[in-house]
Structure 1
């Protein structure tokens, strides 16, 4: 049976660790295994050596310390007031590690949180895309490639079986899947918009996600603005998180759970500072004063529960080269010279014609 978005196993007491596996960007609930907090209980949640949440039932105090560790957990921690369980939302790679539940300074439970890898891939419609296995050679590995809840291809090196299931999903991928028998990488040819989505690579027990998007091509002049349209006429309420990325970097986000709309224009050394605008209604993103370094892939990622919708844009910059001051002076001088030359030729032409008429008049008079 496949792993769910995150595995929730019963925790053990003492020094043993309970592994918790979660996808980057999802939420994870770490269970206290209590059905109810008693009146005298004092409960603390630790991340490494730092307290991040605390319950004192006697004082009726429920506290999350989400500003610790440079605000790493800001707006991401939730305490269940009945059981003391801790939920971490929108989890990132910096949240992986050891979490300890301490009850009345006596009982302890330790969890080790692992973050599953996630990669963004953008491709032009009609092109091919290779989803890499990360292996140089298959040994005794078992490899599976999934699209959503459907197996597309699998490899069992022990039985020397290499199989693509291109007749699944009503034959959507028929004759378009290729497995590399040396590395296990999967190639999809002739990409179509309906192929966009989340692909999973499972090698033995290791899982990596690929966000695959078919990009819309946009060209914009340097210095102009570009609007990346979400195609939403209004904020769709069933989406938990809507995220704009430039490459792998988040640049704007709306989190419905916290009613928060944020632009991260200080990322990438402040490249987008004061140039990002989110439409409050449709969540389309506008970037002003486009520059050459802004060219690249922009991804719109919309999540509800563990399902994703993805839209991508490949933006190119049409540079407008303006001449420098020296070149401008040279061009001005050349234009002036051309103008002078034109006047000289015009005066010469007038004088020549006048001379011809005078000569003709003299000739007529003599006759």
Structure 2
């Protein structure tokens, strides 16, 4: 079976301005968790620490070194920000919309103390493996699906080896990846959905999804089974009617 890798991404990109990429610290966290952006500094008594985010430098937090007074003017972070005496910022109950650039500066310096590129990854759903009809009579056709995912990769594994993959970034869409296996295949297969910091895995149960049998009620579709049941019922009714008619005609 040949390896297949599919990538379709419309990835966002950011300009780090005059500060340069080397000044940016990348931080990743899963949605709902807390994250602390450390300043690695000590606040002086005559210093004001300022936190801003986004390309428009939206002011989100300040702390005054003189009296440790804090202010959180951005309503998007209501009750979700904590400032420490070191100037470090903690964001609780993170959301995917919190992703972006964060800059911390001081009134004692013209340049930012630190710049962070925060990525909040959505929680990954468990991939679902299902069977679908195909023209192949010798292989079992399977489909692994995951709904509403972004910045993630969906992959089929045979043992520890990757058979095929499909990736998406930024877009929140549904991913599906097909696989065909022989009915008597004894190998171990699994479908894995992962992003840079977490993964979800579903193992294939071939005996359950790819079972075969000679009995038509097992192999045929739902419609055929209903038709057979209806025909059996009609035959039964006709038989009863004949018997009633026969016994009723006797003197």
- Interval containing the TM-score (normalised by the shorter chain): 0.3 to 0.5
Greater CA radius of gyration, 1 or 2? 1
Higher RCO, Cα 8 Å, sep 6+: 2
Q: Normalising by structure 2, what TM-score?
A: 0.46
